[in-house]
Amino acid sequence: MNLESLDLHSLQTAYRDGGTPHELVRVLHSRMEARGDDHVWIHRVPLADLLAQADRVMADKAAGKKLPLFGVPFAVKDNIDVAGMPTTAACPDFAYVATATSPVVQRLMDSGAILLGKTNLDQFATGLVGVRSPYGAPSCVFDARYISGGSSSGSSVAVAAGLVTFALGTDTAGSGRIPAGFNNLVGWKPTRGLLSTRGVVPACRSLDCVSVFSLTCDDARAIGRLVSEFDPADPYSRERPGATPALPAAFRFGVPPPSQLEFYGDTEAAALFASSIERLRSLGGKPVEIDFAPFRETAELLYSGPWVAERLAAIQPFFDEHPQSLHPVTAAIIGGGSRYSAVDTFRALYRLEDLRRATEASWKRMDVLLLPTSGTIYTHAELAAEPVQLNTNLGLYTNFVNLLDLCAVAVPAGFRSNGLPFGVTLIGPAFTDDPLCRIGGQMHRALGGRIGASKTEIGALPAPAPTEARTIHLAVVGAHLTGQPLNGQLTSRGATLVKRSRTAAGYRLFVLSGTVPAKPGLVRSPGVNGPGVELEVWSLDEAAFGSFVAEVPPPLVIGTVELTDGTSVKGFLCEPFAVGSAVEITRFGGWLAYLGNVSASGGIAVPHAPVVR
């Protein structure tokens, strides 16, 4: 079993062709042995234990257990707990043996994935460079003179070098994106709270995210579907809202004007970013120039403001008792948190809200923000000469994302003439992770080229099935509206709110008798000149739409509804026989307005309203 690429498709194909997890872990163990001390790993799982994991997944499969990640190798950044393994956060004196496994890691192992080990990082996840570790500094897989990026350094190299299919990192300031850009990978930084951070050594606990490194966006999405789950034991975990914004087919993407872009003299990076703008335009996007200044000022708050004190709060007892145990640069940064007062913190929070409001002007004009993942890349020697300033440079396009509650996916965007990769990042509002990854995947495929450091071309991998991307828009007018009793029948199927609108004039709305919960009936009446009925348009994939329609009870049906702008979508209608003696409520303009009237009148139904003509 000798795979050139460990992407999910290639690995699953190998298993279908007769390969086994036992063969795979032996191959990967040999690969790691051949690399010697590459500073990627802090703790490697011994071969005997890898084979025991292979035994387990084979037994689970034989027992009929569903294993979407059967035999898939992965790695975990060593600030994430795995029961029975040491967690060091790249600080040997801080190390402890975890007694419980992080829920995210546990879900992966329960899905059949095989853990190969725990990876190196910038100590206490403080840095974007990957060199602040007593376990050594990993290097870019394309040129050992250059840094790997951090803080999730080992996780990124493990994926790019073909040692694992995917790896978990963490991302507070860009630690899941910068290393992706430096190693020709996809780096997904989810919406804060979408993945549980229980069992993670905090950096800035209010901002931390568990991130995913993978070879393709399709792989990142597949992992994301498995690990995105609300964790009630994590106070920072968040449930997906009932309605999340969907990205339109003809999406608008924001780009800063050239005067606000900084590449630190890297002219080839600038040219590759310009090409990425045109690539996204060719996929149906419309570029919109936005003011990057408030985003940039927000980025500066992270390390030049009291959020540094949150890093100190995470480890203060250890820091106070063992200051000599920290890397000198890490100690200087975290120790600097002590100079901030509560007054400073509140002032910074106020300023953050000012900046958030300032960015809203840009989000009204764009659906997605496109930025370089980093302006340039540095050698180990350059970084040693200016360790703080060059790290700051790398955070220009990343540090603001968590502060502004955004999600992001870093994707490959080509190579410089010296063979070093360049990456761009797509950034979107909270909970737009999946559509953002879809667009990222389209960009990656349009670029072409190899995945990670392998020889496998992304074009050689099958594109997502057409049905996967096909969605159906559904108009709802009553009990399925946001906040109403049956809205969960949509959100549980992954439906997303597209927009709020109204029907065209020729529709009437009635209260249906005997329905639990109470429901209205929408009837088309050509010639009626009504106000139009308020509705919401939701987006579902075909499979979800089919299962939803199967549950629609009579006299309701799914038909075609014309909107006030002249377009048509599928939507709830009512068979005419059911409204013969029903109360008409068209004049209220919608179900929610009618319910408000009922509540205001003490819960007594309104008398029969005059028919709208």
- Beta bridge pairs of residue 457: 450
Residue 34 above 90 pLDDT?
yes
Q: What is the mean pLDDT of residues 314-320?
A: 96
77 is catalytic: yes
Rounded Cα distance between 247 and 361, Å, is 18
Rounded Cα distance between 119 and 307, Å, is 26
Percent residues over pLDDT 90 in the chain:
85
Amino acid at 304: S
Rounded Cα distance between 613 and 285, Å, is 43
Task: Please report how many Cα atoms fall inside a 13 Å half-sphere around the Cα of residue 562, on the Cβ side.
Answer: 12
Please return the burial class of 80, using the count of CB atoms within 10 Å of its CB with bins 0-12, 13-18 and 19+: buried
513 is catalytic: no
pLDDT digits (tens, 9 = 90+) for 432-443: 999 999 999 999
Residue 467 above 50 pLDDT?
no
Residue 612 above 60 pLDDT?
no
Which helix (DSSP H) or strand (DSSP E) does residue 596 occupy?
Answer: helix 591-600
pLDDT digits (tens, 9 = 90+) for 500-533: 999 999 999 999 988 999 999 999 998 888 899 9
- Looking at residue 161, its pLDDT comes to 97
Rounded Cα distance between 377 and 368, Å, is 25
**Sheet containing 209-214: which strands, arranged edge to edge?**
41-44, 114-119, 73-77, 166-171, 209-214, 186-189, 406-415, 421-429, 368-372, 252-255, 286-289
Provide Rg for the chain, Cα atoms: 27
Residue 608 above 80 pLDDT?
no
* Per-residue tokens: 441: 């995947």
Percent residues over pLDDT 70 in the chain:
96
User: How far is Cα of residue 521 from the mean position of the Cα atoms in its chain?
Assistant: 38
- Looking at residue 581, its pLDDT comes to 83
Provide the mean pLDDT of the chain: 93
Written in H, E and C, the secondary structure of 337-355 is HHHCCHHHHHHHHHHHHHH
Q: Give the contacts of 63 (CB within 8 A, at least 6 positions apart).
A: none
Cis peptide preceding 531, ω within 30 of 0: no
Confidence class for position 566, pLDDT limits 50, 70, 90: confident
Rounded Cα distance between 221 and 436, Å, is 10
pTM score over 0.95: no
Rounded Cα distance between 197 and 216, Å, is 23
pLDDT digits (tens, 9 = 90+) for 344-373: 999 999 999 999 999 999 999 999 999 999
Q: Which residue matches tokens 């963490």? A: 170
Coil vs helix vs strand at 406: strand
Q: Give the contacts of 354 (CB within 8 A, at least 6 positions apart).
A: none
- Looking at residue 118, its pLDDT comes to 98
Where does CATH 3.10.490.10 sit in the chain?
A: 468-600
Task: Identify how many contiguous H helices and E strands the chain contains and give both numbers.
Answer: 20, 21
Q: Which fold has domain 468-600?
A: Hypothetical upf0131 protein ytfp (3.10.490)
* Per-residue tokens: 84: 């029975």
Give me the catalytic one of 10, 133, 148, 175.
Answer: 175
Residue spans of alpha helices (H) in 102-152: 103-110
Residue 334 above 80 pLDDT?
yes
Architecture of the CATH domain 8-237+276-458: Alpha-Beta Complex (3.90)
Give phi and psi for 196, each to the nearest 5.
Answer: -60, 140
Q: Contact 561/506 with Cβ under 8 angstroms? A: no
Q: Contact 73/161 with Cβ under 8 angstroms? A: no
Rounded Cα distance between 553 and 576, Å, is 15
- Looking at residue 550, its pLDDT comes to 87
Where does CATH 3.90.1300.10 sit in the chain?
A: 8-237+276-458
How are beta strands 421-429 and 368-372 bridged, if at all? Answer: antiparallel
Give me the catalytic one of 5, 10, 77, 454.
Answer: 77
Identify the DSSP state of 245. B
Residue 303 above 80 pLDDT?
yes
pLDDT digits (tens, 9 = 90+) for 548-563: 998 899 999 999 999 9
**Torsion angle, alpha carbons of 574, 578, 582, 588, to 10:** 0
Give me the catalytic one of 5, 151, 214, 237.
Answer: 151
**In Å, what is the CA distance from 220 to each residue of 32, 120, 178, 437?**
23, 21, 16, 8
How are beta strands 406-415 and 534-541 bridged, if at all? Answer: unpaired
- Looking at residue 463, its pLDDT comes to 84
